[in-house]
Structure 1
């Protein structure tokens, strides 16, 4: 190898580069004299011709000649530039040397490349950075497994492949149980260590061709190709055993961990990635509800699918009814147990359908709560109740609100605005809160109750006895009324246990100066028993079922006759 430019050669060598001239017709390559410093441990004979040099190139040996052919044609007397990157390896035991080649070629009489010249340089560091960036773009930084984007893309490919070749594969979601507890007890760094270790345990139990990725914070997604239902059960048990068999060592000490798995067979039960992911999620939730550390497989369920169709229909009807102002109120009387005089009305939601049929609260509220529409419904109900109170100065109404509404700042803004716009209505409004709210959000509920009582409204706990709220908590909250769950009231004439329970509740409430309402009072005998025990108010079939009334009819309602 010789060079006509020794000074240029020295400069290139100091930069870790070498220049060449490639006579394509003879295939001879002439290098600057310091090329050996760039291609260390490569015999000069392997650099002498294009054919010999191509034997060292990976991954595509013909990359240099293809680059010349694919670059723009050279005009007469002008050079056509090109730039390529490739790896060079002298033996299987040596690491790959990444080379960046920048040059130009000149055409011969036939217009094809006749001569090329350029510069090569080692590019290992930049290539390593690009590889690292590519890896980070595809892999989860904590576990090193595929991130969600590439996992989902791999799932789409697996579903398409399985459908094309009429094979079966499985998609699993593996969720670490109670990771939030680990966060709270030990800190996020320990939780991260647990996630990383669980990923390793799953990885060591995969077959060749299986694909693992981190789906979300505490979930791994797993694609098992060529996997039957029986294979899926065996694999799931292998993963669950591997996770729970040994504690996870962390800097804060050993942590005992279990995981649950939800799985689905594709494409049999999921024709696309949306169905596969949603149904695997659904099945994982089912497994977790059953017990921690369990496995469930998605199966078609006619009743579930029918209920979902109903949910979709009712959701559409609720939104349409809200827009068309077809949400209305019915009013169920609550009377004094002694005199049977009207005390107040409980407001119950009603919705008129397009066909004129009326949907009751049990048909509307649960669906609205599940599908996130209850906030809109409660806003409309509040408007109707305030409108009724403003139009009927002698009426008192109670309004039952859902758990989400108690913490909704927009609901608070609405009620404060309405209270200020209609002076005096707050004192005639009773807000009913279900007992389950008092259990789970006692501190927040106390603030909620305080704000309402500052307006002058009263607070009632609805369905008391169905949950686990203590009278001690009710006293802390400053509750005015307790409504005894009707499931206990309706059978007091026949059940000694229910009689003892209801009588005890009434007695405790009286000692704490809390008024009581007995729901679902069915007959006169039960009403007299409740009166004699000291119950303040009763409501139910005996008193009268809820009915829709015009605003001016409510105030004129006559008091019901007292029992003889």
Structure 2
């Protein structure tokens, strides 16, 4: 091997590599000439023996000898291959030189390593690349802070540590307020600059040992160790002030930014990372809803927990009832205010329970809307109403749907299919859009209304006055009927304010050529007032409450005039 080194030296020199032979009995290392170039700043004495060379190795000095002992045993006359990587540093002030060593060792008579020979080469670029990949796997590329995965891991570790040592820590979620507005107004590059700057300002205000990570697009998570409730309040104000007190300079000019914070004390109120995240999230949403730029701390709430149990139970009941076809209809008459002749029936949902009792719409719809089940309920109600209309050609029916359902292409596909399958049904259908759910995109809703009216159906806004729809939007939508919220109608005989409100609505609707229906009419006095004010239709206790029995035997001839 030694005699071959000079011949190989020329090849190795061109590759930036050096060869060696290491005699383990004497610990002497013989290097090729190229070693001087590879280890240019290392004295020859430090390369002369395995012991001296190991003094330069980081992080594990024994890595070379252990590589020989841990590799597969060599057969007689054959070498056992090995490959290792390590750093070499001549002094603490010098950077680490990363080395890749590839070789074989040969056994002596006792079967143990007696000699090793191989090649070393500098591998700084690959090591830097590996370090970069490792960093990218752990950190958010925009802010350089921990990514969500490693933030959650740090949170879990902190909770475990706090539980073991009976200390307290905190988990905070900091959400940048109205980041979507910044995106829309200035562009995503400016929003990214805001995110980076907010991360920097939070980082400057952390204590040693605290952990910061990017939880999601506009949210940062913080793990504050050894943190009491008082500490949390102080820290939260420090973070909020640091974010809001100075504008963020960007390429498009200065941007004013605020943030909100939701926090939970762990392990007192969260025994694991998922619980801590959920409760911090919940508290952050509450803080944003109450006032942007504020701080909220999670605390137990008996009413909230009880309501959640109810939500879970009702959700399960709704889904089960849908699957078992236990969603049924009740029919409430709507009559002309002047003649009291029935014009149409409002279809109200009922849910049969296992014990035979019925859940009414107020028990079902709010939970269904809140938990995202209203689309499924609306699909089933549509099927039931169209079936009734197809079976009873002289009846007109109205059904309620949520504005959320109007954005559902599957629901529109269903109604379109049913209308084509049952000619003449569309003209006897009134679709009521509940106003208690905010109409987010009036233009999309207008498209939905137009398509329905092209079939011949009419559109009503239900519970008008309780939500967000203005008369301007009524004109924009082209609705045919406004149903005045019963909360304003039921006391008109006793409340001057309610009388003024209802009378004004009726007058405005009449000027816009929109028919009006007064809900929750309780007594004859109220019915007569509404008639005199020009209200077109009334419904409620005075007329008759909803019944699951089909009330039409002979259907009244008087019907609502056709739309338009």
TM over 0.5, yes or no? yes
Q: Over residues 390-418 of structure 1, what are the superposed CA-to-partner deviations in whole Å (9 max), with x where a residue is unaligned? A: 11111111111012111111111111111
Aligned to 2:561: none
Q: Over residues 9-28 of structure 1, what are the superposed CA-to-partner deviations in whole Å (9 max), with x where a residue is unaligned? A: 12212321111111111111
**Residues 231-310 of structure 1: matches in 2 within 5 Å?**
231-310=231-310
Distance of 2:555 and 2:164 partners within structure 1: 72
Any stretches of 5+ residues in structure 2 without a counterpart?
A: 559-564
Distance of 2:394 and 2:87 partners within structure 1: 90
Q: Give the drift of 1:245.
A: 1.5
**Residues 34-45 of structure 1: matches in 2 within 5 Å?**
34-45=34-45
Q: Give the drift of 1:542.
A: 1.0
Secondary structure of the corresponding residue to residue 554 of structure 1: coil
Distance of 2:310 and 2:254 partners within structure 1: 48
Q: Give the drift of 1:356.
A: 1.3
Aligned to 2:443: 443
Q: Give the drift of 1:163.
A: 2.1
Distance of 1:476 and 1:65 partners within structure 2: 83
Q: Over residues 369-392 of structure 1, what are the superposed CA-to-partner deviations in whole Å (9 max), with x where a residue is unaligned? A: 122211111111011111111111
Q: Give the drift of 1:167.
A: 2.3
Secondary structure of the corresponding residue to residue 385 of structure 1: helix
Secondary structure of the corresponding residue to residue 414 of structure 2: helix
More off after superposition, 8-17 vs 401-410: 8-17
Contact 1:386-1:425 at 8 Å conserved across structures: yes
Distance of 2:160 and 2:470 partners within structure 1: 57
Q: Give the drift of 1:231.
A: 1.7
Secondary structure of the corresponding residue to residue 440 of structure 1: coil
Secondary structure of the corresponding residue to residue 242 of structure 2: helix
Distance of 1:458 and 1:168 partners within structure 2: 61
Aligned to 2:97: 97
Secondary structure of the corresponding residue to residue 173 of structure 2: strand
Q: Give the drift of 1:103.
A: 0.7
Contact 1:143-1:195 at 8 Å conserved across structures: yes
Q: Over residues 415-470 of structure 1, what are the superposed CA-to-partner deviations in whole Å (9 max), with x where a residue is unaligned? A: 11111111111111111112356753211111111111111111111111223433
Aligned to 1:461: 461
Aligned to 2:514: 514
Q: Give the drift of 1:86.
A: 0.3
Distance of 2:197 and 2:313 partners within structure 1: 45
Distance of 1:344 and 1:108 partners within structure 2: 103
Contact 1:463-1:483 at 8 Å conserved across structures: yes
Any stretches of 5+ residues in structure 1 without a counterpart?
A: none
Contact 1:436-1:467 at 8 Å conserved across structures: yes
Aligned to 1:325: 325
Please, what TM-score do these two structures have when normalized by structure 1? Answer: 0.96
More off after superposition, 31-40 vs 89-98: 31-40
Please tell me the root mean square deviation across aligned C-alpha atoms, in Å: 1.6
1:58 aligns with 2:75: no
Contact 1:3-1:33 at 8 Å conserved across structures: no
Secondary structure of the corresponding residue to residue 530 of structure 1: helix
Aligned to 1:532: 532
Aligned to 2:165: 165
Q: Give the drift of 1:98.
A: 0.2
Q: Give the drift of 1:475.
A: 2.3
Distance of 1:216 and 1:279 partners within structure 2: 16
Distance of 2:533 and 2:323 partners within structure 1: 47
Distance of 1:508 and 1:312 partners within structure 2: 42
**Residues 92-171 of structure 1: matches in 2 within 5 Å?**
92-171=92-171
Q: 1:25 to 1:184 in 2, by over 3 A?
A: same
Aligned to 2:562: none
Distance of 1:147 and 1:3 partners within structure 2: 55
Q: Over residues 485-514 of structure 1, what are the superposed CA-to-partner deviations in whole Å (9 max), with x where a residue is unaligned? A: 112111211222221221121112222221
Contact 2:438-2:467 at 8 Å conserved across structures: no
Contact 2:395-2:555 at 8 Å conserved across structures: no
Contact 1:392-1:555 at 8 Å conserved across structures: no
Please, what TM-score do these two structures have when normalized by structure 2? Answer: 0.96
> How many residue pairs get matched?
557
Aligned to 2:75: 75
Q: Over residues 202-260 of structure 1, what are the superposed CA-to-partner deviations in whole Å (9 max), with x where a residue is unaligned? A: 11111111111111100111111222222222211111111112110000011111111
Secondary structure of the corresponding residue to residue 552 of structure 2: helix
Contact 2:80-2:106 at 8 Å conserved across structures: yes
More off after superposition, 463-472 vs 343-352: 463-472
